[in-house]
Amino acid sequence: MTLIKKFVIYLSIVTILIISPLIMIIWHYQKELLLNQAKIQAETLFKMIVITRQWVAENRGRVEPVPAVATKEISEYAKKMANFKFHITSDILVNPENAPDEFEKKALKYFKEGEKEFSEIIEYPNAGTVFRYMAPLHINESCMSCHYYQGYKIGDIRGGISVFIPINSLKDTILLNNKMFYMFGFITFTSIILTVTILVNNLVLRHIKTLADASNEVIKNNYNVKTEIKTGDEIESLSMAFDKMVNTIARNEDLLKAKLKEAISNYVATYEELKNKNEKLLSLNKMKTDIIDTMAHDFRTPMTKILSYSEMLKDPKFMSDPLVIERAISVIYNNINIMKNSLDQILILSKLEYSDIALEFEEISLRDFVIYIVSLFDKEIDDKRLNLTIDIDDNLTVKADRNILNSLIKNLISNAIKYSKIDGEIIISARSNTEEVIFEVYDSGIGIKSDELDKIFNRFFRGSNVKNSFQGTGLGMSIIYQATRRLGWDIRVESEEGVYTKVTLFIPID
């Protein structure tokens, strides 16, 4: 239910509660007024009759009927000519027609008890509502001439005169007045309700609706709403307090959002830091495991040979044979180098796979760098009588980390030399376009089987055509792949078994 409806209902109830007793008082007052007016009429009529009787009694020489007869005749005229009537009666009858009715008997009884008058309102089927009034007739000196023989004394009650006053017309007048009063009261009440309702709506409810609408906007997180009610009273103070409250809520929400954002950022940063540290720990743990597994894999054969020849050197029967001693020392030395190279390869690969050390990129002359790496393999190239060609422009440079580039180029050239045939050919070339440098290492070696090309970057993988013919760890191509990945380069391998192998690096210029 709306506030205006509640206000109208409550105001109506209060008004009715206040007016109802007033109406009852007014109704009672009107009833008393009606009775008083009827009584005044009856008393006046009674006095007029008594005066008339007194005049007749004192003028017997001029008026023929006695007072009782005169009163009776006037009563008959009243029945015909007026809307009231009266009746003379007594409990000591001379004329039976003057016998008292029930009302008159009751009145005569009260008179004997000392009452001065008696009245009642009585409903008659034909006459309607009638005000009955009766007062006693006392014996005076003029009455003694007619009633001396009945034993009366002056001052005794001879009887009484009852007056009939119809009050229907008075009631109708009062009812009409009441209707007018009620109609005027209803119009006044309605006008007051409407006036008060309009005033309350304009002075209070309209502004309350403004505040309610503003509150709904605040619920929708719209803190730009302003009530700006200018009434110069408590409503304006409430409006100002509301606007101030909204501004405070907006500031607090912004502050809360900022703090929440900061807390979330700190949480995310802490989470990322812990995540990175955890990943780093997992990576280091995996690197440790891989290193141990790789060392166990690669060191088994060399260690076995070293132990075997070491035992041989301890045997007295071989101690005097220089050839055996020389052979044993050579085998031990070579296997120690093999273990050293394997360990170097393992450490390089582990750093490439797991290390998060920042790279230091620099401009490197590709031709000079390749020439330096090739010079490290002069003996191997000469032993195989290889025809090695370097086709790289002197001004061609690449941006790379020197250490990673060293591992990458060294393994590419080492593989090309190792798997080349005697009198074979190796071509190291590079060319550039607007987007990239294309670096190629070609060898006319034993090649790679086509069904094994997709496995060559796996750790420890060695082609089936080289396992029994060439010594190695199976880590070279893994190092090459991880090095290109760290540098952000692409790699492609092409090969035909028994014919050639070509490894191509695609190096972005930017």
500/238: higher pLDDT = 500
Residue at 286 is within a domain: no
Query: pTM for the whole thing?
Result: 0.41
The number of C-alpha atoms within 13 Å of 226 and in the hemisphere containing its C-beta is 4
Q: How far apart are CA 104 and CA 119, in angstroms?
A: 10
For 39, 168, 220, 362, 381, the CA distances from 30, given in Å and listed in that order, are 14, 14, 63, 120, 144
- Quick one: tokens of 299? 């060191």
Here the CATH number for the domain that contains residue 64 is: 3.30.450.20
Q: Using the 3D structure, point to which of 126, 152, 174 is the last residue of a domain.
A: 174
Reply yes or no on whether the pLDDT at 438 is more than 90.
yes
Q: Calculate mean pLDDT across residues 377-391.
A: 91
- Quick one: tokens of 376? 């490290």
Q: Calculate mean pLDDT across residues 438-454.
A: 86
Q: How far apart are CA 200 and CA 208, in angstroms?
A: 11
251/350: higher pLDDT = 251
Which of 103-112, 250-259, 302-311 has the lowest average pLDDT?
A: 302-311
Confidence at residue 437, expressed as pLDDT on a 0 to 100 scale: 92
Residue at 11 is within a domain: yes
Q: Calculate mean pLDDT across residues 184-202.
A: 80
Domain hosting 444: range is: 359-508
Residue at 266 is within a domain: no
Q: Calculate mean pLDDT across residues 269-277.
A: 81
Residue at 487 is within a domain: yes
Q: How far apart are CA 161 and CA 104, in angstroms?
A: 9
Q: Using the 3D structure, point to which of 174, 207, 235 is the last residue of a domain.
A: 174
CB 411 within 8 A of CB 341: no
Q: Using the 3D structure, point to which of 174, 189, 224 is the last residue of a domain.
A: 174
Q: How far apart are CA 480 and CA 407, in angstroms?
A: 8
Which of 33-42, 211-220, 366-375, 404-413 has the lowest average pLDDT?
A: 33-42
Residue at 12 is within a domain: yes
Q: Which of 34-43, 108-117, 317-326, 468-477 has the highest mean pLDDT?
A: 108-117
Confidence at residue 168, expressed as pLDDT on a 0 to 100 scale: 77
Confidence at residue 121, expressed as pLDDT on a 0 to 100 scale: 85
How many structural domains comprise the chain? 2
* Average pLDDT of every residue of the chain: 78
Q: How far apart are CA 372 and CA 389, in angstroms?
A: 14
**Residue 346: what are its φ and ψ, rounded to 5°?**
-60, -45
Residue at 119 is within a domain: yes
- Quick one: tokens of 396? 């061609």
Q: pLDDT tens digits, residue range 146-188?
A: 666 666 778 778 788 888 888 777 777 777 877 887 787 778 8
Residue at 123 is within a domain: yes
Q: How far apart are CA 475 and CA 362, in angstroms?
A: 27
- Quick one: tokens of 378? 């002069």
Q: How far apart are CA 96 and CA 112, in angstroms?
A: 21
pLDDT above 70: percentage of residues in the chain: 78
